[in-house]
Chains A and B, each alone.
Chain A
């Protein structure tokens, strides 16, 4: 039976530096394996859509503009992504990669969460189609 059995912690805390990290004033390096924002590399992508098929939260749309010419646009919904890296595992061509230091994704508007990867003109085509046709412009091609 003791009263105030944590007094030793309390006293030593007074003389020691607090355990508090100074984020956002000081930013520590994130761990090497951290899973943050997804990145896509067009080079080897075949547009097979396996990544989208296994994504548990429907966060990927592989938009195939022209399969022969390998015109693909990769649309990534940051707000849906659960950062599980299943897409990275599923991609047979290793086109996907999760950055380890892009975790400061907060935003004041949901607009920022729609990320398009791909050649500039292709992305523009997709965006233009989306703008002219309203919501359903770009159909997701998964096969």
Chain B
């Protein structure tokens, strides 16, 4: 029993300290994408936390998504999500990825990542500063480390007409 706990502990430790990410642009304006890229560069250097940007969904633990999910990108987004091995987490970055942002109401968008795949962390901003992205990722990692008292299935924010 105890051994199991220890092993679980080690697994969680490794998971928290080695989050490899893949980035997908589902129709964003690039603003968020360049800020994500900026987090890897010397000033912010996410490698400090063991985060590496991977090219192949098979190697990734975290899917970092931007954009309001255009109809064409939807299939791809789902496919990439499915290609990722368990356990996997999704981070939505930017106002568009959260709710459609300025593009709300445009005819060709789904209006947010969580309309298509489940999201684990939300980072608002247009775009969020690189520090804010780090903040969001750290919040996600902290929650993996010590799962909060289950607030599962986050209730939808109600829509107003």
Contact = CB atoms under 8 A, between A and B. Distances in A.
Contacts of B122: 79, 106-110, 113
A113 B114 CA distance: 14
B44 A23 contact: yes
Contacts of B44: 20-21, 23
A106 B102 contact: no
Contacts, number: 123
B98 A57 contact: no
Interface stretch (A43-51, A80-88, A91-99): A80-88
Contacts of B101: 57, 80, 82
Interface residues of A, number: 39
Q: How large is the interface on B (under 10, 10 to 19, 20 to 34, 35 or more residues)?
A: 35 or more
Tell me the dominant secondary structure on chain A's binding face: loop
A83 B129 CA distance: 12
Interface of A: 18-21, 23-24, 30, 56-58, 61, 75, 77-84, 103-111, 113-114, 130, 134-140
Interface of B: 42-45, 48, 95, 98-105, 114, 120-126, 128-129, 131-136, 138-140, 143, 148, 151, 154-161
5 contacts: A19-B43, A77-B99, A81-B124, A104-B131, A105-B125
